[in-house]
Structure 1
Amino acid sequence: MTISVQEYKNGSLAMTEITMEQGRVKAKFLNYGITMSSLMVDGVEVCLGFDDPLDYPDLNSPYFGQIIGRLCNRTKNGRFSLGGKEYQLPINNGPNSLHGGLKGLSKVYWNYQIISQEPPQVEFEYASNDLDDGYPGTVTFKCSWTLENMELQFTTEAQVVDAQESCANVTVHPYFNLSGFASPTVAEHVVDMDVTSVMKMDENQIPTGELLTERDRPEMFLKNQKIGDKLPSVKEFRGYDHYYFGKSIKVTCPRTRIQLQATFSYPGFQFYTGNWLDESLKAKRVHNKYQPYAGFCIEPSYPPNSINMPQFRDKVILKKGEKQINSITYKFSKDNQ
């Protein structure tokens, strides 16, 4: 089996789940927020979330497995200017707008089509209308997931169709625990970052513009080290929730020996250790319950608040007639294999 489709319905609520399978990897995605609802590697469930696909719209999910945008991460005060006009986004994270606003790209239904059975590939499409969540212009998004040779590749394409300019900074938000919850936290996971610097953040997690190196903040840089070794030293934001400039990041679970390497077209990634997860969240049966640090996220993207930073602003502005195309690859393997 390569791709199969299953429908779920309860009253007026309906959902489609697409299963992609090849070799030792089996991934499931919903047409709601392109949610990665399950990811099995060698029979181990490594992705946090809910068992029932119909729970995702109703429960207060911390973006489990979902696509996030138009502007992912934090936008300072939810404000930006474009084309001489000021725009206000919903405020949903302290004084900021987080992950696109109240609805964004994660809390909507996407059209989908199966592109290929071998390798398994599914394309999703959604048109975000002018002033959805306060954003200017209608923007069409085409995103695809491809599974090949134990690699999950995500590609995203954004294009404005009815305005001279708009903006986009899109990524995905799966939470991983490579132990399959044989360990309830990821403290024992070993991380190797191929990075040059990390962005200094203010108290509201907005970049100050200053870049810090390993000499400045050694606890922020994991070089073949366990997350738990340095986590207690990261005082702000309860743990790792920072943007790094670099080429890749590799995470290994010593217990299962499952290894995940992320590479991407973006200049860097947000590394998050599930600092705000708690037991009030419904968990998959095989995971029992969630708690802080139950999973980690690797969110490749342009930096937070890029739309308001002169050095990155052009990267997230969409001009009419142009396409913004990016890719993220999660490669799985077994350590020492």
Structure 2
Amino acid sequence: MTSSSEEHVRLAAGDVELTVTPANGCRISSLRVGGAELLRQGERYGCFPMVPWCGRIENGRFLNGATWHRMPLNSPPHAIHGTGRDTAWRTAVADKAEAVFTYDLAEPWPYPGKVTQTVQLAEDSLTLQLGVETYGDSFPAQAGWHPWFNRTLGGADVTLDFTAAWQEERGEDHLPTGRRIPPMPGPWDDCFGMPDGVDVTLTWPERLELKVASRAEWVVVYDEQEAAVCVEPQSGPPNGLNTAPRLVTPIDPLEIAATFTWRRL
């Protein structure tokens, strides 16, 4: 069954349980498969939507037309991961295995609009969707997800497997330099290009295999932390509001979906 409160929305499918915390950036705070918690616990972790941008904005500044805008420098000298994760979302729908959440874009983001996240749970998969609409002026935006997967599951350490077409060369400022290089071995805090769609497999030997898939072409992989690894499908590269702007217009909202599919080993 589904249980909802002001603090948590819980979904279930078979022995899979998921908890969303709308007030804390609409993050998935727990994903349990057969009793095993897949996500790092803590108010900053879980799996949160990155919106209306992903990763870092250089010096917190982006240009729309002839107008410069500045976002708060929450990862000095840059702004990182959007404002959605710091926002309380509204629960629009909460059913047994599906829920829909929304919030209105507001300061410090300079343009009015609406963001919608849909969460659909099955016994072997989780499907996430994000949509960004404008209430008026067009603006550049990005959307994606930042899951913190536990590095260890039942004593088994995760391995990552993916084949990227390129890696965005990372400068000393942690931003892409604009050069595309052959994928390098980890550890990573890097963005990779996958023109045929994101396809990354995490394997906890003898426990679980989980595939992160999306029609989006960009993924950031972060595995420099001892407790967790992150596989982040997103609609554009870090600093993309400046380097690869995707405009949200009244007739062309931004939409992105990602699916986590698992099988027990």
Using the alignment, how far apart are the partners of 1:38 and 1:182 within structure 2? 19
**TM-score w.r.t. structure 2 length?**
0.91
CA apart distance, 1:113: 2.7
Using the alignment, how far apart are the partners of 2:41 and 2:29 within structure 1? 6
Counterpart check, 1:152 vs 2:134: no
Give per-residue Cα distances to partners, 1:234-263, cap 9 Å, x unaligned. xxxxx4111111230001001x42111000
Higher helix share goes to which structure? 1
Using the alignment, how far apart are the partners of 1:158 and 1:304 within structure 2? 18
The code of the aligned residue for 2:53 comes to L
Using the alignment, how far apart are the partners of 2:95 and 2:113 within structure 1? 25
Aligned positions of 1:1-337 closer than 5 A: 1=1, 3-5=2-4, 7=5, 15-32=6-23, 33-50=25-42, 56=43, 61=44, 63-100=45-82, 104-114=83-93, 116-117=95-96, 120-129=97-106, 132-133=107-108, 135-163=109-137, 165-177=138-150, 179-180=152-153, 182=155, 188-214=157-183, 217=184, 219-220=185-186, 239-246=187-194, 247=197, 248-254=199-205, 256-273=206-223, 275=224, 292-301=225-234, 302-309=236-243, 312-313=244-245, 315=246, 317-335=247-265
The code of the aligned residue for 2:226 comes to Y
Q: For the pair shown, which has the larger CA radius of gyration, 1 or 2?
A: 1
SS at match of 2:165: strand
Using the alignment, how far apart are the partners of 1:24 and 1:332 within structure 2? 13
Using the alignment, how far apart are the partners of 1:297 and 1:327 within structure 2? 17
Matched residue count: 260
Show structure 2 runs of 5+ residues with no match.
Answer: none
Root mean square deviation, CA, Å: 1.8
Higher strand share goes to which structure? 2
SS at match of 1:70: coil
Show structure 1 runs of 5+ residues with no match.
Answer: 8-14, 51-55, 221-238, 276-291
Quick one: structure 1 residues 250 and 242, their matched pair in 2 at CA, closer, same or farther if it must change by over 3 Å?
A: same
CA apart distance, 1:74: 0.4
**CA contact under 8 A between 1:141 and 1:158: conserved in structure 2?**
yes
**CA contact under 8 A between 2:142 and 2:241: conserved in structure 1?**
no
Identity of aligned residues (%): 21
**TM-score w.r.t. structure 1 length?**
0.73
CA apart distance, 1:270: 0.6
CA apart distance, 1:116: 4.2
